[in-house]
Amino acid sequence: MPLEQAVGVATDIAILSLLALSAYLVLLVGRISFGQQAYFALGAYASGMASTLAGWALAPSLLLGAAVGALVSALLAWPTLRLSGLNYAVATLALAEMMRIALMRLHFTREVEGEIVGPQGTEGFRDIRWLLENDVSPGGFLLLCLGVLGAALLALAWLRPRRLGLALRQVGHDEVLAASQGLPVLRLQLLAVAAAGALAAIGGGLYAHRATYIEPALFDPMLGVHAVGYALIGGLGTALGPLLGVMFDIGLLEATKVFAGWRMVVFGGLVALFLRFRPRGLLDEATVHRIGAAWRQFRRSP
């Protein structure tokens, strides 16, 4: 694989890993969301508009997108989290499609240096050129994406053994038991969903600046289904699980010609097999515990 293509594939993996982590966070509290692509889209549009129309730098543009994603995610989750598991999953898909239709009607343009830029409905949002205007190389942008992904993974690793992280996992395993022990189930789920919306939106902002062009059609339901599939294949026992799913899909099925034309079939079949025989994915809690025990034993051995 040529170096330029390898850098592009690695960048795509890093960006989509943020989307996969957002779906993982929702799964962590016992819910399935097929609508994380909506917050990915909101982050893409919000950060793109901030850097293109308002002239903001990339970092504040991404932070704005994260804030929009977290706020909208929490507002939509407030009524829908009271639904049962399957109903909640369908509701997230419906809300995401409503948001995509709204973006198809979004027209907000202005003249910048003699050119009309900004979202133009179904014609898309062109000329998101911050990276080009600031001479950011593909390798430099890859390092930026990896840095953002690494920060997200470190935050999740830091949270895992602490009281909040344990409470989130307890809610995911059994909401009724968690509520009987005095845990604020709804508030914990809202917190997880808001954080998931922020993560997806940051990924969307990075994607918009990498692609320089976005349109509502890019954020279709299959993007949300893939985000859940990444977590289900890679495993729910650790935040590294969704990354494993992304690397398998983007790094192997899409980037190579071995599965040309069969990517969706292979990926969908694997998701079905994992749901049947290994519902918590490759890196489930038992596997993570075994790996951790083996590592500790290795470190103790002379």
- Domain of 40 in residue numbering reads as 3-300
Contact 166, 9 (CB under 8 A): no
% of the chain residues with pLDDT over 90: 65
Sign of CA dihedral 159, 204, 242, 226: positive
Q: Can you give the CATH number for the domain in which 172 is found?
A: 1.10.3470
Residue 119 has pLDDT above 90, yes or no: yes
Predicted structure pTM score:
0.92
Overall number of domains in the chain: 1
Cβ neighbours of 240 (radius 10 Å) = 17
- 123-181, pLDDT tens digit by residue? 999 989 999 999 999 999 999 999 999 999 999 999 988 999 999 999 998 898 999 99
β-sheet bridge partners, residue 118? 126
- 5-44, pLDDT tens digit by residue? 889 989 999 999 999 999 999 999 999 999 999 999 999 9
- 190-239, pLDDT tens digit by residue? 999 999 999 999 999 999 999 999 999 999 999 999 999 998 888 888 88
Average pLDDT of the chain is 90
Type of residue found at 144 = L
